[in-house]
Amino acid sequence: MENVRPADMQRIRTTELAEEFIEQAVAECRKQIGDKKVLLALSGGVDSSVVAKLLIKAIGKQLVCIHVNHGLMRKGESDQVIEVFKENLGSNLIYVDATERFLTKLEGVSDPEQKRKIIGSEFIDVFAEEASKLNGISYLAQGTIYPDITESKGIKSHHNVGGLPKELNFTLVEPIRLLYKDEVRMVGRALGLPEEMVSRQPFPGPGLGVRCVGAITRDRLAAVRESDAILREEFAKAGLQGKVWQYFTIIPDFKSTGIKDGARSFEWPVVIRAVNTRDAVTATIEEIDWAVLAKITDRITHEVPGVNRVLYDLTPKPTGTIEWE
Ligand code: XMP
């Protein structure tokens, strides 16, 4: 398979070009795959969702998707994957709720790199176990995109949980390997995927695991998930969705004194981070309207159990990284 973008390949900026790409990609996939079966790890991210939809178009039920819920997804994310791919498209989707398995393995682990390693290797184990239950799979599809190839020594390679098990030993199908991210989104729209999925902000493989600072506990994990959902909802209402590159909440592992319902409280803070960047190598801080921040603070402190304070992270990258771990 060609891994270099041809010099004359047009940047896909119109629906027409996206449709042209889809037609070609579908034909190529059919030619490569024939009547064989293909396996895909479907995270619900833009890249794997676009690959899934393309392959459903090309080979229908010959595609088997596995969605592993590691328990560190954002609120409603796994449900959306099931709704879009299983209920609406009727695809072959295996849903694995591995929450207990991941959280048990992560219990008491506070070192960020160790947490990433556990999440990454557990993910591969769960995926490989599910794959071994299937018969007659010949290909493994992946949502590799062009920057993954050209920047393979950059951010993604050291971060990514992705990169699936070599021991599975399948031939790869990588239909969007020559596309840039904005092109993948154009293609996703032309394929009719929901806008929410297509314009989804980046979300790290280890998920909320790296936003629940230190050793992950179920109560703090629930608090970071709830506060993230509130933040996303309020950003959408304020028209900031799609304007700010990445925004999320973090929960540290310390408590502070506060006052709730006239009584002393001793609870966690939640930190809001909203950044803009081109390439994630450096990032600047979004200047959020004060009233929006006040509304979010009010909602989080009143609606999220165990939280009595909200902070806004003013640190650009460098010196801060985008994630806290
Ligand atoms: P940092 O924190 O290094 O993040 O400034 C840069 C971008 O990468 C994302 N990120 C990750 N993505 N697995 C991923 O797939 C990871 O382990 C990971 N850590 C950070 C981060 O969300 C940001 O967009």
Residue nearest to atom 7 of ligand 1 (CA): 280
Which of 117, 159, 245, 315 gets mutated to test ligand 1 (max ligand atoms within 8 A of its CB)? 159
Which CATH number describes the domain made up of 15-198? Answer: 3.40.50.620
Stated length of the chain: 325
pLDDT digit string (tens) for 219-231? 999 999 999 999 9
SS3 of residue 69 by DSSP: strand
pTM of the model: 0.94
What distances in angstroms separate CA 244 from CA 100, 154, 182, 232, 272, one per listed residue?
A: 33, 23, 15, 11, 13
What is 211-312's CATH number, 1.10.287.370, 2.60.200.30, 3.30.300.10, 1.10.20.140?
Answer: 3.30.300.10
Task: Return the pLDDT at 167.
Answer: 62
Residue nearest to atom 3 of ligand 1 (CA): 321
Task: Return the pLDDT at 281.
Answer: 95
Q: On the CB side of 297, how many CA atoms lie within 13 Å of its CA?
A: 14
> Which residues in the chain show pLDDT less than 70?
152-167
Task: Return the pLDDT at 156.
Answer: 41
Task: Return the pLDDT at 164.
Answer: 65
Task: Return the pLDDT at 163.
Answer: 58
Ligand 1 pocket: which residues have CB below 6 Å? 116, 155, 159-161, 202, 204-206, 210, 246, 280, 317, 321-323
Task: Return the pLDDT at 159.
Answer: 52
Nearest atom in ligand 1 to the alpha carbon of residue 317 is 5
- Measure 159 CA to ligand 1 centroid, in angstroms: 6
Distance of alpha carbon 278 from alpha carbon 284, whole angstroms: 10
Task: Return the pLDDT at 158.
Answer: 42
Task: Return the pLDDT at 317.
Answer: 98
Residue nearest to atom 4 of ligand 1 (CA): 322
Contact between 93 and 60 under an 8 Å Cβ cutoff? The reply is no
- DSSP calls for 85-153: IIIIT--EEEEEE-HHHHHHHHTT---HHHHHHHHHHHHHHHHHHHHHT--SEEEEE----HHHHHTTT
> What would the two tokens of residue 144 be?
């590799």
Helix or strand holding residue 255 (H, E): none
> What would the two tokens of residue 123 be?
């993910």
User: Could you tell me the residue ranges of all domains in the chain?
Assistant: 15-198, 211-312
- Measure 89 CA to ligand 1 centroid, in angstroms: 30
